[in-house]
Structure 1
Amino acid sequence: MSVDVEGKSLVDLLDMLEPAPVPEPISMIPQTWGWGVLALILAGLIILGVYAFLRHRQLNAYRREALVELAASDNDAAKIAEILRRTALVAYPRRKVAALHGKEWTNFLNQTSDNVTFTDGAGRQLVEAPYRDAKADPDLEILARNWIRSHKRERTA
């Protein structure tokens, strides 16, 4: 196929050119099985992460509720003692918590949290709180808040 190009202008020569073929669109589907496997693993990890987050949130709902009640307790020692007792009953078996009182109760609170000490200072008010009408030491509310946030929940099967 010989085309006579002699004597033709540049515009005529450009008009004679055939347009380049349009390439086929690139598929967004992975071409190899490895990418598919990677996508499945990534989707599985995302689902597992969302499940773990929702489970953690559900298991700690009692803590959030106790903190809200503690904020509304108006620094009343009897209410604080009741909130701590109810929180402990949710986090630990009833047979382990229900019978505790006095020194045993404050020792239990100490053992179940690393950074809170109820046996001295404001924590001693918990033993006498149900029998008094006086306002609690402001440190008692702080101790209670720290215990609610940091106690170790007993694992159940």
Structure 2
Amino acid sequence: MSQQPPQASSELPLRDIHLPPDPPWWPPAPGWWVLFVMVCAALVLGFVLLRRIRRARIWRERVMAEIRQLADRHPSDDAAYAAALHQLLRRAAWRYAVDAHHLQGEPWRRVLAQVPVDAATLDTLMTLEASMYQPGATFDRVAMEEAVRRWLQAAWRRMKPLETGHA
């Protein structure tokens, strides 16, 4: 029983090696999906951050414009100017204490001290409260306005402006 191996002859129908077909372009490989999701997340995050920065900038510009308007509205009446600046501070401090609109004295100072500013600025802001009740009181308007600006700028770093209508 000896069998003879088949001989290579032209009578056997052999075909050449077949390569698999090229991979389709759709759906993409999982790595492309991960890259797509990362790019979309980065775009959404960038949009949210730019929008937040823009809203904060608009809010700051409105507050600074309001300070300028208050100075123009009360050019010679220091008590009215002090009351207007004090009201602006109370509206901004509302984010730190819900009852900031009626606090006076030491509780009001503690609310103002929640914002990291120097003691001289706090002292200047506390004289604002006393100046608004004295009809003939005079104070350094430039120093008072600068103290209000410093406090508001320090407060902006700690809070996120949710609504542009406050402060």
Q: TM-score, normalised by structure 2?
A: 0.57
SS at structure 2 position matched to 1:131: coil
Match of 1:80 among 66, 79, 85: 85
The aligned residue for residue 112 of structure 2 is: 109
Which whole-Å CA distance do the structure 2 matches of 1:136 and 1:39 have between them? 61
> Conserved in 2, the CA contact under 8 Å of 1:107 and 1:119?
no
Match of 2:68 among 67, 71, 85: 71
How much is the aligned-residue C-alpha RMSD, in angstroms?
3.2
Alpha-carbon shift at residue 116 of structure 1 (Å)? 3.9
Which whole-Å CA distance do the structure 2 matches of 1:55 and 1:123 have between them? 29
Over residues 12-70 of structure 1, what are the superposed CA-to-partner deviations in whole Å (9 max), with x where a residue is unaligned?
Answer: xxxxxxxxxxxxxxxxx996442342122112121022124324554776544322211
Which whole-Å CA distance do the structure 2 matches of 1:104 and 1:63 have between them? 26
Change (3 A) 1:135 1:30: farther
Q: Which runs of 5+ in 1 are unaligned?
A: 1-28
Q: Which amino acid aligns with 2:106?
A: K
Q: Which amino acid aligns with 1:66?
A: V
Change (3 A) 1:94 1:62: farther
Which whole-Å CA distance do the structure 2 matches of 1:130 and 1:98 have between them? 15
> Conserved in 2, the CA contact under 8 Å of 1:70 and 1:80?
yes
**Runs of 4+ more than 6 Å apart:** none
SS at structure 2 position matched to 1:145: helix
Which whole-Å CA distance do the structure 2 matches of 1:146 and 1:119 have between them? 10
Change (3 A) 1:123 1:66: same
Q: Which runs of 5+ in 2 are unaligned?
A: 1-25, 76-80, 161-167
For the pair 1:125 / 2:131, whether they are aligned, the reply is no
Alpha-carbon shift at residue 140 of structure 1 (Å)? 1.4
Change (3 A) 1:55 1:84: same
Higher relative contact order (CA 8 A, sep 6+): 2
Identity %: 25
Q: TM-score, normalised by structure 1?
A: 0.60
The aligned residue for residue 147 of structure 1 is: 151
Change (3 A) 1:94 1:57: farther
